[in-house]
Amino acid sequence: MADIAVPCDSVVLLRLIYGAVAKSGIINPQDKLKVLEQFKITDELLNNHHFRFPHQLQIPFWQFLQAYTNDPCIGLHLSRHLPSYRGQVVEYFFYSSRTFGKALEKASRFYPIISDAIRLEFIKGPQESCIKIETKLDEQSYLRHFVECLVKGMCDFFANVLERDFQPVRICFAHACHGDIQEYQQVFGCDVEFECENNSIMFDSALLNVASPHAEPELAKLHEVHAISQLQRLMRADLIRQLTDFFASNMMDQNINLGGAAEYLGLSVRQLRQELSDAGTSFNQTLAEYRCKSAKRMLADEAIPIDDVVWKTGFSEPSTFYRAFKRWTGLTPLEYRKRKQRQSLSSLNA
């Protein structure tokens, strides 16, 4: 069975953190682009509402910030400057749902829309309730900064939607304390414990019954339908990514087929065919798109012989590859390579 697809975060999370960096003034203006470079993205992608990036890039990002500022508590300090979370369906639940508790139930269920690297578990208790926060990466030395920012951002968001002070009873972190415990207590306004079993926000269960002044049951239903649609789209995108990983690992196997892909993904052939159909594609179409993209990348490199491109894209005969490439692009492989050469020369002379 295939490994779980690479966990990804919504660009909304990055915008919040980047906004805190900008607001705090900890980065010199000329170095601001270096922050985005840690996530390997551009300003254009930062403003693309649908963009998602690998969660593991949080590690070099926070590593860079800690080294740049020489601040072992950079996550805690940046958390004071976080902008408000806005603009996703998870936020809308807290306005359209009848109570804060109902909204939390839905937010926990649909949190993968924000990040599928983070699992929220909402646990109701008679006196105290809890939001457990689990991450899919075990690395804690730098991700602790992200977790501290995330917890503070959640507490501030809850205070905003409740239109009252959200006062946790206790904050628990799985990592060790690297700063002044009194500063943590000041920032979160409650007791803060470290080296706990998990990351969690403990709060008074009475808050679960706080009614939303903006509750709209019909609108809440529409929000849930929209959230289900978004989650399904993300799951299908994950399926395509896993299938692409299968192609990358097995492309030189000339017997690459639907059955092998289904086994790799831990699905039956029928399930995989149906899920690809639901995603608006098919196994053959996805394979052709991967081969075409790989062939274009290699043909753009003059150092790679065309014969090597043939077998590296899974074709046993050059003639079969030539026909397929002409069908994909309208050009022969040689014509495509010459076009890329002319484009490279033009950009050099521009």
| Burial of residue 60 (number of CB atoms within 10 Å: 0-12, 13-18, 19+) | middle
What band does 309 get if pLDDT is binned at 50, 70 and 90? very high
Question: Mean pLDDT over residues 143-153, rounded?
Answer: 95
Q: Which fold has domain 8-215?
A: H-NOX domain (3.90.1520)
Task: Note the CATH number of domain 237-349.
Answer: 1.10.10.60
Domain residue limits, the chain: 8-215, 237-349
Backbone angles phi, psi at 197, to 5 degrees: -65, -30
The span from the CA of 133 to the CA of 320, in Å, is 51
Question: Mean pLDDT over residues 151-173, rounded?
Answer: 92
Tens-place pLDDT, residues 252-271:
776 789 999 999 888 899 99
Residue 11 has pLDDT above 50, yes or no: yes
Helical segments of the chain, H only: 11-24, 32-37, 43-46, 58-69, 74-79, 89-96, 100-109, 143-162, 181-188, 217-250, 258-265, 269-278, 283-299, 306-312, 318-329, 333-349
Tens-place pLDDT, residues 171-194:
999 999 999 999 999 999 999 999
Largest CA distance in the chain: 73
The span from the CA of 238 to the CA of 235, in Å, is 5
The span from the CA of 199 to the CA of 134, in Å, is 7
Cα atoms in the Cβ-side hemisphere of radius 13 Å centred on 19: 18
Residue 122 has pLDDT above 60, yes or no: yes
The span from the CA of 88 to the CA of 11, in Å, is 11
Closest residue by Cα to residue 5 from 238, 183, 217: 238
Token pair 């046993």: residue: 316
Q: What is the pLDDT of residue 1?
A: 36
CA 25 to chain centre: 26
- Read off the pTM: 0.76
Residue by residue, DSSP assigns 199-233 as EEEEEEGGGGGPBPTT--HHHHHHHHHHHHHHHHH
Question: Mean pLDDT over residues 95-115, rounded?
Answer: 93
Q: 25-28: which pairs have CB atoms within 8 A and are 24 or more residues apart?
A: 26/65, 26/68, 26/69, 26/71, 26/74, 26/77, 26/78, 27/68
Least confident of 51-60, 152-161, 327-336: 51-60
Q: What is the pLDDT of residue 2?
A: 39
Residue 261 to residues 198, 234, 243, 255, 323, Cα–Cα distance (Å): 36, 20, 7, 11, 25
Residue by residue, DSSP assigns 257-294 as -HHHHHHHHT--HHHHHHHHHHTT--HHHHHHHHHHHH
Considering the chain, what percentage of its residues have pLDDT values greater than 70?
Answer: 96
The span from the CA of 21 to the CA of 40, in Å, is 17
The span from the CA of 228 to the CA of 218, in Å, is 16
Residue 230 has pLDDT above 90, yes or no: no
The identity of residue 155, as a single letter, is C
Tens-place pLDDT, residues 28-47:
877 777 777 777 777 788 88
